[in-house]
Amino acid sequence: MKIPVIERGSIPPDHVAPDSLKGIPRQQTNPGRWQGDTWQDFVEYLKSKGVIVRQERSECSVFVTDAGGLAYGLPHGIVRPNSADDVSKVLKAAQMYRVPVTTRGGGLTTEGESVAFGGLLLDMSSMNNVLEIDPDAMTVRTQAGIFWHQLAEILRRDGMDYLSAPLNLTASVGGTLGVGGIDVNSPRLGCSADQAVALQVVTPTGDIIACSETENPELMERVLLGYGQFGVITEATLKIRKFSPITMKYFYYSSLRTAIEDLQFIAKEDAADYCGILTIIDRAITLLVAFDSDEREKEFNSRWRNKLRGHGEVGFGIRMAWHYLMHPWDFKEAAYIIGRRLTLFPEFSRPEFMRDGKIVDRTVVFSRAVWKFWGGKQMVIPDLSSNAEKFAEAVERGNAVCRKYFKYYTLYCVGIKLRGRLPRYEMSCIPSDASDIAYGCEFEPMLRDTDYSRDYLQAFKNEIYDIGADMGLSYYRFGGMMKGYIRRVFGNELVDRHLAMKREADPAMILNPDVIF
């Protein structure tokens, strides 16, 4: 066999080689495990304070990875706190014995942010009681480890609902407030963190502090979208509203840019209560639009409907059929789209979740579909967030990367209404140059039937994130395995300022290590 000689330097970057991780030192994708020298003393101390640390393999294994399924690490032990006082004892002891503490709610991170590489895992899901529903103030006060779905179950018995939350049943309130939380009504209502009226926070040194926009506002601004760096949220008071079923409409596009322009048009004009884009590859692009009331729907139909360039299902079907007739070699892609369409969309209109043509319990409907059609043992969901002007280009460039790496994937685009320029938006998914409404896009490959190496997936994520670094955008998932991008995107000045604040708040740097700093 003759092996051709290739000149050094002429080989393009390999997807799975170290040089594909442009600018990202490899070791940052896989934190080293804490050695645990002070562990036994720490456990004994906590025991003396009445806090039980579970160390059995069967207990620890439950938390071996997160929803991403790419980062694996075991804690030395677990605490399930019952109160802020328990959390305080843990953090005070952790400072004293320099034991890393990883907090976890639903564990829905994808970059290992809620995976403990040794140390203690604080399983906040045990703090899941609703403390008070105030129908006059239209707020709910709840322990922050509660999952949004549990909260919805309780609110619904009073005919209430939360404002916005991730389309995921097992996301926790505390975890969501720590990163933002995006819903399909975020173009109108903002991110979930912006629904928080007041918080109870345990600082990294174990102080229990109440905060709101008027009481300890600096802490409030640090903790919301703070990626768990400046405290553990133990209670949250959130805005609520009357529950209402929704009416949903779909518009179909074959051009990403056109769909994005229409999404931005709807968001800007406040033409719908919910809107977002969901694609099957980049061929079948669906703009979802939904309404809380008949009046809003009527207004949309009379004022805005004709301005949208999307097609109805039949019209779009004919165009798709024509396209694939002209491109018969893409028949597998056509079959995939048809198959996906036939299985996915009926899920949005299951009869038990419909009443008089309206979707009841939209979060359940969407979340079930999310897990059924996008879930799996491994998930990578790199994302880009941008101001309105750069968004279409960012999505198109990200789409090209998806095309390069994967046969089948989904893009999910949504807007996020901003409440001015709040300090909480610094070092978050909200880009510094966004005003009024920011936009985000998730790029999710369908990994189900194929085994990809971790390096291949990391290379894919890096290439998406390189677009962000190049265009001056931001990301939702910049922690954990992607933290190598933090300085590139936010700049040294901002990162150093936050690092100094972190060092002051958390002298032993024990709270959620390897997430940001």
Q: Which residues bind other proteins (CB under 8 A)?
A: 54, 56-65, 67, 69, 74, 80, 106-107, 123, 125-128, 147, 149-150, 152-154, 156-158, 169-170, 351-353, 355, 361, 363-364, 367-368, 371-372, 375-377
Q: C-alpha distances in angstroms, 475 versus 107, 196, 275, 338, 410?
A: 19, 22, 20, 32, 17
Nearest-angstrom CA–CA distance, 347 and 354: 11
Looking at the Cβ atoms of 62 and 325, the one nearer to other proteins is 62
Q: Which is nearer to other proteins, 74 or 138 (CB)?
A: 74
265 vs 371, beta carbon nearer other proteins:
371
**Closest approach of Cβ 371 to other proteins, in Å?**
4
Where do the DSSP E strands lie in 243-317? 247-253, 274-280, 284-291
Structure tokens at 80: 């399930």
> Minimum distance between the CB of residue 61 and other proteins, rounded to whole angstroms?
3
Residue 66 or 514: which CB sits closer to other proteins? 66
For other proteins, the closer CB: 67 or 225: 67
- Tell me how far, at minimum, the Cβ of 491 lies from other proteins, in Å: 36
Q: How far is the CB of 70 from other proteins (least distance, A)?
A: 13
CB-CB contact of 78 with 107 (8 Å)? no
For residue 282, give every residue at least 6 positions away whose Cβ sits within 8 Å of its Cβ, in sequence order, or none: 256, 399, 402, 403, 411
SS3 172: strand
Residue with tokens 């980049």: 282
The residue (of 73 and 468) whose beta carbon lies closer to other proteins is 73
User: In the structure encoding, which two tokens stand for residue 359, read together?
Assistant: 């979707």
Query: In sequence order, which ranges of 270-311 are alpha helices (DSSP H)?
Result: 294-299
User: In 3D, which of 236, 212, 221 has the Cα closest to residue 505?
Assistant: 221
The residue among 23 and 159 lying less far from other proteins, judged by its C-beta, is: 159
Whether residue 262 contacts residue 309, with contact meaning beta carbons closer than 8 Å, is answered with yes
Closest CA to 128 of 106, 113, 157: 106
> Cβ closer to other proteins: 53 or 438?
53
For tokens 């979802």, name the residue: 288
DSSP 56: -
C-beta of 493: minimal distance to other proteins in Å? 39
Output 351 or 420, the one with its CB closest to other proteins.
351
CB neighbours (10 Å) of residue 319? Answer: 14
Token pair in block for residue 217: 């506002």
Whole-angstrom Cα distance, residue 442 to residue 68? 14
Ramachandran sector of residue 231 (left: φ over 0; alpha: ψ -120 to 50; beta: rest): left
- CB nearer to other proteins: pick between 229 and 367: 367
**Residue 175 C-beta: closest distance to other proteins, Å:** 12
**Least distance to other proteins from the beta carbon of 359, Å?**
12
For the four alpha carbons of 186, 187, 191 and 195, in that order, the dihedral sign comes to: negative
Least separation in angstroms between CB 475 and other proteins: 23
The least CB distance from residue 72 to other proteins, in Å, is 9
Amino acid at the residue 424: R
- Give the CA radius of gyration of the chain: 23
> Scanning the structure block, which residue is given the tokens 């990809």?
452
Least Å from the CB of residue 418 to other proteins: 30
Closer CB to other proteins, residue 128 or residue 386?
A: 128
Shortest reach from residue 294's CB to other proteins, in Å: 20
